[in-house]
Structure 1
Amino acid sequence: MQLLSLRQKKIFFLSNNSTDTAESIRKKLQGMGLSIHHTSILVATELVGDYLLEKYGKIRVKTFGTTALEQSIKSCGHIISSASSKDPCDVVVVGRDPSFTYEKLYDCTRTLTNGAKLVAVNPDLFHPGEDGSRVPETGAIISAIQAVSGYSDYESVGKPFDYSFKKIQEQSLSEPKSCIMIGDNPYTDILGGYMAGMHTAWISHGEIFPSELGFKPDVTVSSIGELVPYILFGEFQEESYEA
């Protein structure tokens, strides 16, 4: 981080997190000894409201997720309907919901069959727990909803979908080819950066890059420290993005 700052690189943290805010993530980074202004953090939780506003205008929304997700959407002027309400709504937004229940699954699928659109904060099926276990994520809930409702299509704000990458380009005033996406998830970080037209640097942790993706990252390293030579002498320009 210090090296990037000294070389006057613009640094953005792009997170698929659907429970935290940019401010809470900033505090976590500070606890790790990193100092970064909250405007350099884009988190999917806070992007959903803007996405809905830009695409649909101010609408009626049901949320299945955390209070932070609901408040973020409400702050953009959308009307929040109770999850159990039978009133019609325009969009159902789903994030990681540790309290997701059979009743919520029923309420969500009923709303979709009545004509609402489905929006996922991110498509992640799980994230790694501290003990190495798989912690269910938004995508796992989406899969359950699709299985019951028969609703195959959904929109998503998080990586690898393009909305979050476009937001960073808008804020940084940079072209994709002057940006590098750094991350350790091939299916979200690296695929998203590749589809956005950015350079990509994959932190492999000793794994093999999935061949089914049909491309290879520009740079593959085992740890983030190995990126230093590329920062000092590589051809990458202006930006550095981290998942």
Structure 2
Amino acid sequence: MPHPIRLSDFLDSPGPDRAAVLADLDGCLLSGETVLPDVPRLLARCGDRLWIVSNNSTDTAQTLAVRLARLGLPVPAGRILLAGEMTLRTLQAERPGARVALFAASPLQVLACALGLYPDRRRPDLMVIARDTGLSFDDLAEIIALAHAGVPVRLTNPDITHPGADGTPCPETGALWAAVTAAVPRAAAVSLGKPAPDLLRRALRRAGVAPRDAVFIGDTPETDGAAAAAAGVDFVLLARPGAPARDLLQREASSC
């Protein structure tokens, strides 16, 4: 496993000069609604070679681009790939007009309708589960009932948590799925979110860049690192705010 380093250390290396720099979102660029240190410098250094590749399943690329612009981070929607949106777009390509039991926040609900997917929780062809902070206990019961009935599941991402603004774990889509499988142990789901390499490969195709000419920066070896390895992309592990970076670890070791 690579040692975590600060974003400033990465910026002082040749890494940002790669043909494409892929970056995770939560814990790397943002912490809640706070822009993390040196991120504006990253955008200035990389320009249109920077791509956001995230397991976010609340936003669409368009709604996230608007939010980032408000925070002073001008990344266009065309260079943002999100697990929730990509799940719906993949589903539309594979099964146009499918009847979908969609458990997701408003941006994905709107996108699903725009893509021609038909919302149906009574007799769905399949179920899509994303992160929705407004999910109720009744919704959970409905998801469990559909899983018990054998309805195929597309899980937008398997993450159990993502780091909140103060580092506190925030429940993610994988935590919801853990509750479902606790009730229906035989339930299975398909996901293109990291650690699967799908999002990274799509970013590389859009950028027209070979894996060897790209680098991916993320804060979670189990998802970001595994996805990078599967896609054949070099991986840089960033230290989360407040966590010891490599140089700190080295100084501590030398003082012992």
TM-score, scaled relative to structure 2:
0.72
Once the two structures are TM-superposed, the CA of residue 222 in structure 1 deviates from its matched residue by: 6.9
Where does residue 3 of structure 1 map in the other structure? 45
Q: Tell me which residue corresponds to 1:27.
A: 66
| Counterpart contact for 1:125–1:139, Cα < 8 Å | yes
Partner residue of 1:51 out of 87, 90, 94: 90
CA contact (8 A) 1:88 1:114 kept: no
1:128 to 163, 181, 204: 163
Task: Say whether 1:12 aligns with 2:51.
Answer: yes
Contact 2:104 / 2:130 at 8 angstroms: preserved in 1?
A: yes
Equivalent in the alignment of 1:229: none
Per-residue deviation, 1:56:
3.6
Q: Which runs of 5+ in 1 are unaligned?
A: 209-219, 224-243
Paired residue for 2:113?
74
1:98 aligns with 2:133: yes
Q: Which amino acid aligns with 1:164?
A: L
Deviation at 1:73, TM superposition (A): 2.2
Shift of 1:221: 5.9
Is residue 61–residue 90 contact of structure 1 (8 Å, CA) maintained in 2?
yes
Contact 1:176 1:197 in 2 (8 A): yes
The reply on whether 1:161 has 2:203 as its aligned counterpart is no
Alpha carbons of structure 1 residues 55 and 163: separation in structure 2 relative to 1, 3 Å: farther
SS in structure 1 opposite 2:153?
strand
Give the superposition deviation at 1:196. 0.9
1:111 aligns with 2:146: yes
SS, match of residue 203 in structure 2: helix
Cα distance, 1:31 vs. partner?
A: 3.1
2:126 & 2:165 partners in 1: Cα distance? 34
Determine the C-alpha separation between the residues in 1 that align with 2:247 and 2:64.
25
CA distance in structure 2 between the partners assigned to 1:221 and 1:156 by the alignment = 32
| 8 Å contact kept, 1:48–1:157 | yes
CA distance in 1, matches of 2:207, 2:172: 29
Structure-2 change in CA distance of 1:149 and 1:168 (3 Å)? same
What code does the residue aligned with 2:199 have? S
Map Cα deviations across residues 162-181 of structure 1 (whole Å, 9 max, x no partner).
Answer: 22122112211222222111
Aligned positions, number: 205
Report if the CA contact (8 A) 2:84-2:157 is conserved: no
Q: Which runs of 5+ in 2 are unaligned?
A: 1-42, 249-256
Secondary structure of the residue aligned to 2:81 is: strand
CA contact (8 A) 1:48 1:73 kept: no
Alignment partner of 1:88 out of 120, 123, 129: 123
**Cα shift at 1:190:** 1.7
Alignment identity in percent?
A: 27
Alpha carbons 2:96, 2:116 under 8 Å: kept? no
1:64 aligns with 2:121: no
> Counterpart amino acid of 2:135?
F
Tell me the alpha carbon deviations over residues 48-88 of structure 1, each in whole angstroms, 9 at most, x when there is no partner: 21121334443111011211122222222211114xxxx32
Q: TM-score, length-normalised on structure 1?
A: 0.76
Give distance in 2, aligned partners of 1:221 and 1:122: 29
The one-letter amino acid paired with 2:120 is S
Shift of 1:207: 5.6
- Quick one: structure 1 residues 4 and 102, their matched pair in 2 at CA, closer, same or farther if it must change by over 3 Å? closer
